[in-house]
Structure 1
Amino acid sequence: MNRLWLWLIVFTLSGCVSHEVVTPPGPVPQEQQVGAQASGVMAPLPGPETAVFLTQRYNDKRNMCRDNPSAPAFLCTGVMLRATQPSTQYHFWNPNPSSTGVSFSYLRADAKFSKLVFGYNNGFIFYPYFFKPHGKIEPEILCFFPVDGATNGRPDQGCGQSPGIAASRPCQDQGINTAAQYMTHYNQSPSKYGTLCGFNVRDSLNQGATTAFNEAIKAQGQGGNFAFATQNEFRLAKWAQDLGPTVPIEAVFYVNDSGKAGAQYDQRDFKEQTGIWVPAIRITLPQTTGAAVRFDFIPADQAISS
């Protein structure tokens, strides 16, 4: 799969007083985008611009990146996030040493859900790989489940078959290649959690990964109340411990006031350990299928300003 370097995006927004919510105005106009230099990567953005960029990506429902059939849309659109719990016993950017992979969820206008895994209230966001700053790692994106795949119990870094459940084998291995085929499979699995298949979206599949991801997103949208109330799941290859400065973290986030303190702790810890400031973004998840997700930068909610 060709990883095409994209444009360096520069946002110019006006300042704000310290107590107001900075509300993203919508997609960034084309005239505000500037051609990339040789590195072809995006520079880190301040808080207000980050909220704008997240909103832009959330609303971007293209089915590939840069018109390249071998570049799945998750490389340039949507919001890939990982829900976590703050702790003094570990740094949030380090994978669980006992896990075989790392789980994320994916928010987009056609891939919405109403809560985070385990009812968590905060976490962090990865840059799309086509926009990550120079020098950041790219953990391989392995598979995608339209609803949570209970991946901790699966082999193959969380992408394989749940023990004893043949129907949970990877979708393509079962001849499940379209949203319609997945929905037949979905409707035949009453318990669903841990019994459903996931779509292989590894880089080595090239155009097949793009097709698989697009069909998986369609399937999530057809999953009804269960899919809306159960976050989807990406499985990424596990990266090494203590790589903080090179992990492609775009922001920390919180979804309600209960998660704000956790996001503030993570924001401060990341700056202290890596020297890198990232914004804390409030994500308002939808409680109805017709509602949109909101991304807000609130200056008063930042643990540190820079």
Structure 2
Amino acid sequence: MKMNGIVVWLMALVLAGCATQEVAPVKVQGSDEQVIESSAVGTLGAASGPVTAQHLTERYHNKASMCRNNPSAPAFLCSGVLLRATQHSTQFHFWNPNPAATGVSFSYLRADAKFNKLVFGYNNGFIFYPVFFAPADKIDPEILCFFPVDGATNSRDQQGCGQVSGVPSGRECQSQGINSAAQYIAHYNSYPNKYGYLCGFNVRDSLNQGATTAFNEAIKAQGMGGTFAFNTQNEFRLAKWGQNIGKTLPLEAVFYINDAGKAGAQYDQRDFKTQTGIWIPMIRITLPQTTTADVIFQFIAADQAISS
């Protein structure tokens, strides 16, 4: 290849990376402990474990209020880490929704949306790409609602976004006139027993700018929730997708939070490759145990069940 061709090729790669990146570079500690400036490159995450860990770190620190300067594009479309905790089993594939459920529950990690444990004490799970960073051949599962703390969504109507039977205080926040973090916290403080008594914010795409505003207020509310909120993971509710469509799901990685979750994540990594032909990395997530600590995302080569 001639020198001019190499220059053009390199410029194209740089421009492609810029086109898919929506977060500012952050300082990331490399494997040699040298602090380096890094910038994510969008949809290349699954190609490299270290790059995936870097992407997750950057998105975690990106406290965006909207995406692409579009007031109708909520921040979860391009920032934060959308993860689902799962329990290892040989009886089902981890990416398939529970056939008996009305929706699928995830949690959301960001520097201003932290928690110190996973639902049910689980130790591993999987991560979805944000919609704006997902590869072009993947589906976009519909994001329905967000609860600043666990919403006990399996007991609610309206795909998990409505109310628990006989508990009207748990119906959608906006339908109760709860539109701000302050209003949510007043509601939150009035119920010693949380979970099903608290409301979730509607963040469906059809709300446009209303979804952006609702999500931003919900994140603020989580930060105002004190010890209970930090000790209780938040909850996104997504619409169910079909069974056995792993190839088209926006799966970025499987993860584990401790050694107890490692074997489950290793099984899931192998199972996904066997069923779909797609390799995704295993990422270790260290959750913060104090409100001043941050989440740590690591790719540990020795922990991988398969290298590619």
> If the length of structure 2 is used for normalisation, what is the TM-score?
0.88
1:183 matches 2:182: no
Q: 2:260 aligns with which of 255, 258, 275?
A: 258
* Distance in 1 separating the partners of 2:33 and 2:301: 11
Tell me, which stretches of 5 or more residues in structure 1 are unaligned?
1-5, 10-19, 34-40
1:7 is matched with 19
Tell me, which stretches of 5 or more residues in structure 2 are unaligned?
1-17, 22-29
Q: State the secondary structure of the residue aligned to 1:93.
A: coil
Larger Cα Rg: Structure 1 or Structure 2?
2
Structure number with higher helix proportion: 2
1:220 is matched with 222
The aligned runs of 1:128-207 (5 Å cut-off) are 128-207=130-209
Large movers: runs of 4+ above 4 Å: 20-27
Residues 84-139 of structure 1, C-alpha deviation per residue, up to 9 Å, x if partnerless? Answer: 01111100000000000000000000000000000000000000000001210111
What is the letter of the counterpart of residue 124 of structure 1? F
Number of residue equivalences:
282
1:60 is matched with 62
1:28 is matched with 38
The alpha-carbon deviation at position 24 of structure 1 amounts to 10
* Distance in 2 separating the partners of 1:70 and 1:149: 25
Q: Percent identity?
A: 72
The alpha-carbon deviation at position 144 of structure 1 amounts to 0.1
Question: Is the 1:124–1:251 contact (alpha carbons within 8 Å) kept by the matching residues of 2?
Answer: yes
* Distance in 2 separating the partners of 1:88 and 1:131: 30
* Distance in 1 separating the partners of 2:35 and 2:62: 15
1:244 is matched with 246
By relative contact order (CA 8 Å, sep 6+), the higher-ranking structure is: 1
Residues 247-306 of structure 1, C-alpha deviation per residue, up to 9 Å, x if partnerless? Answer: 110000000000000000000000000000000000000000010000000000000000
Question: Are residues 48 and 207 of structure 1, via their aligned partners in 2, closer, same or farther at CA, if it must alter by over 3 Å?
Answer: same
* Distance in 2 separating the partners of 1:212 and 1:98: 29
* Distance in 2 separating the partners of 1:193 and 1:265: 32
The alpha-carbon deviation at position 27 of structure 1 amounts to 6.4
The aligned runs of 1:77-156 (5 Å cut-off) are 77-156=79-158
Q: 1:48 aligns with which of 24, 47, 50?
A: 50
> If the length of structure 1 is used for normalisation, what is the TM-score?
0.89
* Distance in 2 separating the partners of 1:89 and 1:212: 38
Q: State the secondary structure of the residue aligned to 1:190.
A: coil
* Distance in 2 separating the partners of 1:22 and 1:295: 16
* Distance in 1 separating the partners of 2:271 and 2:82: 21
Question: Is the 1:22–1:298 contact (alpha carbons within 8 Å) kept by the matching residues of 2?
Answer: no
RMSD (Å) for aligned C-alpha atoms: 1.7
* Distance in 2 separating the partners of 1:22 and 1:101: 43
Question: Are residues 261 and 26 of structure 1, via their aligned partners in 2, closer, same or farther at CA, if it must alter by over 3 Å?
Answer: farther
Question: Are residues 279 and 26 of structure 1, via their aligned partners in 2, closer, same or farther at CA, if it must alter by over 3 Å?
Answer: farther
* Distance in 2 separating the partners of 1:68 and 1:25: 32
Q: State the secondary structure of the residue aligned to 2:188.
A: helix
Residues 130-177 of structure 1, C-alpha deviation per residue, up to 9 Å, x if partnerless? Answer: 000121011100000000000001111000011111110100000000
Question: Are residues 21 and 302 of structure 1, via their aligned partners in 2, closer, same or farther at CA, if it must alter by over 3 Å?
Answer: farther
1:16 is matched with none
What is the letter of the counterpart of residue 182 of structure 2? A
1:303 is matched with 305
Q: State the secondary structure of the residue aligned to 1:252.
A: strand
* Distance in 2 separating the partners of 1:26 and 1:145: 36
